[in-house]
Every structure is written in structure tokens, then in C-alpha cells.
Amino acid sequence: MIIMIKFVKSKHAVSFVGRNYKACHSLLTIDFMGPCPYRCVYCYVRDMPYIYSSWGLKNRFDLEAVLWYNKPELLKKYMRQNRDFKFPIRIGALSDIGPPFNYTIPMLRKTLRYALELEYPLVIFTKTPLNKFDELVELFLKMMNKGLIAVAVSITDVDEKIYRRLEPLAPPVNERINFLEWLSDNDIPHILRISPLLQGVTDKEEKFLGILNSIPRSHVVVEYIRTRNKRLINFLMKLGVYTWKWDNIWKYYLAPRNYRKRKYIELREIAHHAGWSYAVCGDPLKNENICIYQDYDDCCTGKWRIYSKAVRKILEKEATIRKNKRFVKEILSQTSLVRYNKVCK
């Protein structure tokens, strides 16, 4: 639990996440605070001490967090300066929009208002039922009307005995399900992320279907749990999460490659039979044959194509873009999104 907040002035509006861009096109991110207040035991940021150091924290066990109070204003400036380069920004990359809500929700409200004003697309990753904050509801609806927003809600399991041991401080799953239902009822692009996916537990057909059947049909994205922490592996094995192997490409312990290949295809068939579209998130396996791992070019937002619509506009005016030329020519052209459109038609 966080007991102290350090208010810090940030120098950067967004972060560029380019290490795995061939398997993931969600490249521009923003966090309002760090570390995440929910402190889930599986959080892979815990395996990255350099991130804690960059936040000015001594280690992952610090009971304090950094809040970058000027992020919305920096983001507004960034959006204004990049009007010809509206690549979607993902909110909630390393830290959820969680407590203290008296700070994070006003920051999100400002960010949504600026994005609406400048017509800049956003994708939110969260476990927080944001519809319970009245000041956000109208902004969500207005952004939806302009095709500027998608919301991905993460659920690990609907079994409280499992998810409460993994994410004891996160909102109850029933609140997240209600949030997805609210998004669906209001035609706001919504995505279910079964993240992390637990091998031997939530990738079994009965359990996977149980999660899907609890929620309005939409687009589901799966992402296997990964870690560099052997103590966490021992803890998870007690919950039935078995079969681990070091991946030399991804540099994590996770389910073995052949196991993942087989399960990804099985889960895709299950999702399709249940009426869902499907995608795998970020796995380097996608570099081998991307077509079998996702139903749309935009794996993040599925049929709503928040990313692919933006990329198409960027590529159409590539010759006139003065800023971000290297990003467009050298990186964007190799992302999973662009490669899918080249090889999967």
C-alpha cells in the first residue's frame, strides 16, 4: 500500500516503447504516477529496478509513489505540436489510473478534455471502473462520438479465490465487468484483456469460456504471464500455474514456446465459437506468423481500429510530415499492424 506521494514535475509528455515494436504497435504511452497503486504480485515492472531508479525510488518495496502532476499540460502541448501525427497514446502502460483518485481522476479528466479539444486519439488500459466518476462520463461519450477513444479492461480471473491472491488491492472483478457492460451499452469501444493469462488455469477451455461468458461479446486480447522472479514462479505454481521456461527472445520465464503456440490457436477457436474477435498481445511469436495470432491488423482495439485508422492517415501524408520522420519510415513500417496488412490479406 502506498503511504506517501511525491509530487514531481515531469520533463516528458509521453514515453516511446520501442523494444518490441515488431510484435506490438502500442508505442506511445503515458502514466500519471508510478509505481501502480494496485501492486499486483505479477506486475512485470517489479522485475525492472531501473524503472524504480528512474522514478527516484530506492526499490520496489518503497511505500511511496511519484505523481507527475504536470503530465496533462505536457500532453496538451505534445498533441498541439503533433497535429499531423496523431499516433494514439496509451494511458496506463506501467501504472493504472488508481488511487489517490483525488489526484489521478482530475488529471485524467484534463487529459480527456485536451484530447477532445485537439481531436487526438487515446487508448486506456485499466482495472479501474472509470464510469463511477461522473466528471469522466460525458467526456467518454463525446470522445466516442468522434472516434477518439477505446478502453481496455484487464481481468485475470473471475474466480475471487484466484484473482484476490494475485491482485489484492485492485477493484473487484464484478465492478470491472459492470464497467465493460456500461461501455458496451454506450457504444464506447471496449476490449477485454485477459492479462495475465495463466497457463494451466485460465487457458483451460472451461475457465476461458467462463470469463468470456461473464462479459458482453467484444474483442479479447490475451497475454501470458511472464516474470524474472523465481519466488513468484513458486508462488504461482501453488495456484496451479505450471510449466515455465526461460524465453531467450523475450528474456522472461513464461509458458514454453510450443505450449503457447498450441494454446493461442485453441483459445482463438474458443473465442470465435463464443462470438468474440481475438488477438495475442506482444508475444515475439507473432513475428513468425502474425496472421494466426490476431483477427485484425489492430490487435489492441480490434474492429474499432483506433490505431490502424491513425496509422493510415499518417502514412498517407508521410511526405509532408516534418517531425517524427524516423518513427514513420524506420519503425512504423515494421510494426505488427503494418506487417499484418501486407501479409494477411
If pLDDT is split at 50, 70 and 90, which confidence band does 297 have? very high
Q: What is the dihedral of CA 236, 242, 245, 251, to 10 degrees?
A: -40
Position 22: which residue type? K
Average pLDDT over residues 126-147: 98
Q: Are 64 and 124 in contact (CB under 8 A)?
A: no
If pLDDT is split at 50, 70 and 90, which confidence band does 326 have? confident
Calculate what percentage of the chain has a pLDDT beyond 70. 93
Average pLDDT over residues 224-228: 94
Burial class from Cβ neighbours inside 10 Å (0-12, 13-18, 19+) for residue 204 reads middle
Report which of 59, 83, 186 is spatially closest to residue 131, judged by C-alpha positions.
186
If pLDDT is split at 50, 70 and 90, which confidence band does 259 have? very high
pLDDT at 329 over 90: no
Q: Which of 187-191, 193-197, 312-316 has the lowest mean pLDDT?
A: 312-316
pLDDT in tens, 59-68: 655 668 899 9
Which grid cell is 25?
504497435
pLDDT in tens, 33-89: 988 889 899 987 777 766 766 777 766 556 688 999 999 999 999 999 988 889 999
pLDDT at 196 over 80: yes
Q: Which of 168-177, 248-257, 303-312, 320-329 has the lowest mean pLDDT?
A: 320-329
In the prediction, which pLDDT does 1 show?
Answer: 59
The yes or no reply on domain 4-343 and CATH 3.20.20.70 is yes
If pLDDT is split at 50, 70 and 90, which confidence band does 320 have? low
CB atoms within 10 A of CB 4: 8
In the prediction, which pLDDT does 45 show?
Answer: 78
Of 57 and 239, the one with more pLDDT? 239
In the prediction, which pLDDT does 176 show?
Answer: 98
Average pLDDT over residues 297-319: 89
In the prediction, which pLDDT does 28 show?
Answer: 93
In the prediction, which pLDDT does 319 show?
Answer: 57
In the prediction, which pLDDT does 46 show?
Answer: 73
In the prediction, which pLDDT does 235 show?
Answer: 95
Q: Which of the listed ranges 41-45, 177-181, 287-291, 338-342 does the model predict with the highest average pLDDT?
A: 177-181
If pLDDT is split at 50, 70 and 90, which confidence band does 127 have? very high
pLDDT at 287 over 70: yes
In the prediction, which pLDDT does 118 show?
Answer: 97
Calculate what percentage of the chain has a pLDDT beyond 90. 71
If pLDDT is split at 50, 70 and 90, which confidence band does 268 have? very high
Strand-pairing partners, residue 222, are 194, 280
Report which of 233, 211, 91 is spatially closest to residue 155, judged by C-alpha positions.
211
Burial class from Cβ neighbours inside 10 Å (0-12, 13-18, 19+) for residue 334 reads middle
Residue listed under C-alpha cell 523494444: 19
Report which of 186, 183, 174 is spatially closest to residue 214, judged by C-alpha positions.
174
